[in-house]
Amino acid sequence: MAKRVAPDRAAAVEGTSDPVSGALKIVPRQYYCIDERGQPVPQTSSTEMIERMLRLLEVEGGRHVLEIGTGSGFSTALLSHLVGSDGAVFSIDVDPEMTERAAQLLQMAGHTNVLLSAGDGRDGWFAHAPFDRLVAWAAAVAVPRAWREQTRIGAILVVPMRRHGQAWVSRYRRGQRGALIEEARAPGNFIPLTATPLRPWKSADARP
């Protein structure tokens, strides 16, 4: 990976009491979403969509969050700020090279409350369950059973859905015995949740 300057996580944010807006002002999107050749990283949702979904997620300090789809690491960095030093973010991506890139950038930026893994996000991350929040950046036909079983009672799950040609984002609340109660819907169209990468990432050095 080409050398790049890590952002200053201690930068002050004035004039806002909104955690999501504050995180968006602190975390530099370009650091994560532009590759070593100056090209956009395709594995990243728009800032507007990320903001919308993080607001639905209602992340608070001290929470443990499971993220399905690390991508560039931009949303992971935002979650890291939102949970604070008392919380933790556990992020899974199906693409090993993409995961490695994001892990390097997050480490360089000083995010010590995040843990990344390459694997099938549909299986969740049992070793670190239960989670207070879950957010996915790929669309499911149905919420995987593992996600229900690995979240606490009262947990919020924000999941893109795709069914019968329709796409949207659902916010669920985890009830008793694993039941999920849909509380809200928002517009959103995401790539499908799969066991293998749809568009495998290649580092700039590996590209022709």
Amino acid occupying residue 125: W
Residue 46 annotated among the catalytic residues of the structure: no
Among the listed residues 57, 52, 48, the one whose alpha carbon sits nearest the alpha carbon of residue 29: 48
Catalytic residue of the set 17, 45, 46, 117:
45
User: What pLDDT is stored for residue 201 in this prediction?
Assistant: 72
Domain that includes residue 174, residue range: 19-191
Measured between alpha carbons, how far is residue 25 from residues 12, 33, 96, 122, 140 in Å? 9, 15, 29, 31, 30
- 45 within some domain: yes
CA atoms of 92 and 174, how far apart (whole Å): 21
Write out pLDDT tens, residues 129-187: 999 999 999 999 999 999 999 999 999 999 999 999 999 999 999 998 879 999 999 99
User: Which helix (H) or strand (E) is 49 found in, with range?
Assistant: helix 47-57
Query: What is the reported pTM?
Result: 0.90
Residue 61, number of CB atoms within 10 A of its CB: 12
User: What pLDDT is stored for residue 37 in this prediction?
Assistant: 87
Q: Residue 119 is part of a domain; what is its CATH number?
A: 3.40.50.150
- 13 within some domain: no
- 202 within some domain: no
- 93 within some domain: yes
Judged by DSSP in three states, 64 sits in strand
- 9 within some domain: no
| Straight-line distance from the first to the last Cα atom of the chain, in angstroms, rounded to the nearest whole number | 15
Domain count, the chain: 1
- 4 within some domain: no
- 1 within some domain: no
